[in-house]
């Protein structure tokens, strides 16, 4: 691990990159302890605050964890699926909020990905996952449910559908797509009428998964996508002509 002392600025970024490379290339393995901050400062010929800035960069990416005390230090962190989920969600949410992505584009992507899980989920969903979906559908039908709660339940329903595929890599990849849509979905004020339709389609999906009928699930997802996009379109229309 070497850094170029010629390059002027951002020593901490260079050091972070050097350590990152060492982790990615396998020179540093999971749970291995990095040298202490003082030792790293010596090795890289920089001060301790600079080393610390580098370590914080890595910590922000969940690449290391730190522990205080005598046997403490910075350890190479096993990037768990959970950590990866939340990073993925944060990034996706920001990406959608800070770029002009049309609702249609985001919606299309989300449902295209979700349909990719339909077949696998129809084969593999556990009874537990199916029960979760049924429970969420039940909750969604409760009168007096706030829009936020309805959206959260919607996300939970779709998460269960995705997890039903029994493929953690797939779940990870879709986490962003499903969760990041929630803020966008919140822009649509769900009327009682529109909820009814959505709940009906959710039921069709659950039925399809229960019977292992992937075609029904895919079809219902297509309908759900169309309906969601229509809702968004109507809301946009209303805003244009508020009268």
Q: Does residue 176 interact with its own copies by CB under 8 A? A: yes
Beta-ladder partners of 66: 74
Q: Does residue 3 interact with DNA by CB under 7 A? A: no
Q: Does residue 70 interact with its own copies by CB under 8 A? A: no
Q: Give how far Cα 57 sits from Cα of 61, 185, 224, Å.
A: 7, 32, 41
Sort strands 73-76 and 64-67 into parallel, antiparallel or unpaired: antiparallel
Look at residues 124, 143, 80, 122 and name the one whose alpha carbon lies nearest to residue 207: 122
Residue from 27, 97, 191, 211 binding its own copies (CB under 8 A): 97
Q: Which residues 6+ apart lie within 8 Å of 161 measured at CB?
A: 114, 117, 118, 121, 125, 129, 133, 205, 209
Among positions 101-120, residues that touch its own copies (CB under 8 A) are 101, 105-106, 108-110, 112-113, 115-117, 119-120
User: Among DNA, its own copies, none, what binds residue 112 when CB lies within 5 to 8 Å by partner kind?
Assistant: its own copies
Token pair 């244009």: residue: 240
Q: Is 157 exposed, middle or buried (0-12, 13-18, 19+ CB in 10 A)?
A: buried
Compute the distance between CA of residue 6 and CA of residue 8 in angstroms, rounded to an integer.
6
Q: Which CB sits closer to its own copies, 115 or 134?
A: 115
Among positions 46-65, residues that touch DNA (CB under 7 A) are 46-50, 52-53, 55
Contact window for DNA (CB under 7 A) among 23-31, 32-40, 107-115, 232-240: 32-40
Among positions 9-28, residues that touch DNA (CB under 7 A) are 9-12
162 and 171 Cβ atoms separated by less than 8 Å: yes
Q: What share of the chain is helix, strand, coil (3-state, %, to 5)?
A: 70, 5, 25
Among positions 67-126, residues that touch DNA (CB under 7 A) are 67-74
Q: Which CB sits closer to its own copies, 196 or 215?
A: 215
Beta carbon of residue 167, minimum distance to its own copies (angstroms, whole number):
5
For binding to its own copies (CB under 8 A), which residues are involved? 9, 12-13, 16, 20, 23-24, 26, 30, 49, 52-54, 56-61, 63, 68, 78-81, 84, 87-88, 90-99, 101, 105-106, 108-110, 112-113, 115-117, 119-120, 165, 167-170, 172-174, 176-177
The site for DNA (CB under 7 A) is made up of 8-12, 34, 36-38, 45-50, 52-53, 55, 66-74
């Amino acid at each position: 691990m070497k850094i170029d002392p010629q390059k002027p600025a951002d020593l901490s970024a260079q050091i972070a990159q050097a350590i990152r490379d060492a982790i990615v290339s396998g020179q540093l393995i999971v749970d291995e302890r990095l040298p202490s901050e003082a030792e790293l400062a010596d090795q890289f010929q920089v001060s301790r605050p600079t080393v610390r800035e580098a370590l914080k960069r890595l910590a922000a990416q969940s690449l290391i964890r730190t522990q205080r005390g005598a046997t403490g230090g910075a350890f190479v962190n096993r990037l768990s699926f959970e950590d990866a989920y939340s990073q993925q969600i944060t990034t996706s949410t920001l990406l959608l909020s800070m770029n002009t992505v049309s609702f249609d584009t985001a919606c299309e992507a989300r449902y295209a990905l979700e349909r990719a899980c339909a077949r696998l989920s129809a084969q593999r969903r556990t009874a537990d996952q199916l029960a979760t979906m049924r429970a969420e559908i039940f909750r969604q039908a409760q009168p007096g449910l706030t829009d936020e709660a309805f959206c959260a339940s919607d996300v939970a329903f779709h998460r269960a559908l995705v997890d039903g595929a029994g493929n953690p890599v797939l779940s990870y990849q879709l986490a962003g797509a499903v969760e990041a849509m929630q803020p966008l979905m919140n822009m649509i004020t769900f009327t009682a009428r529109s909820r009814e339709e959505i709940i009906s389609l959710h039921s069709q999906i659950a039925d399809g998964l229960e019977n292992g009928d992937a075609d029904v699930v895919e079809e219902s997802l297509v309908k759900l996508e169309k309906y969601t996009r229509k809702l968004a379109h109507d809301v946009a229309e209303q805003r244009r002509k508020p009268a």
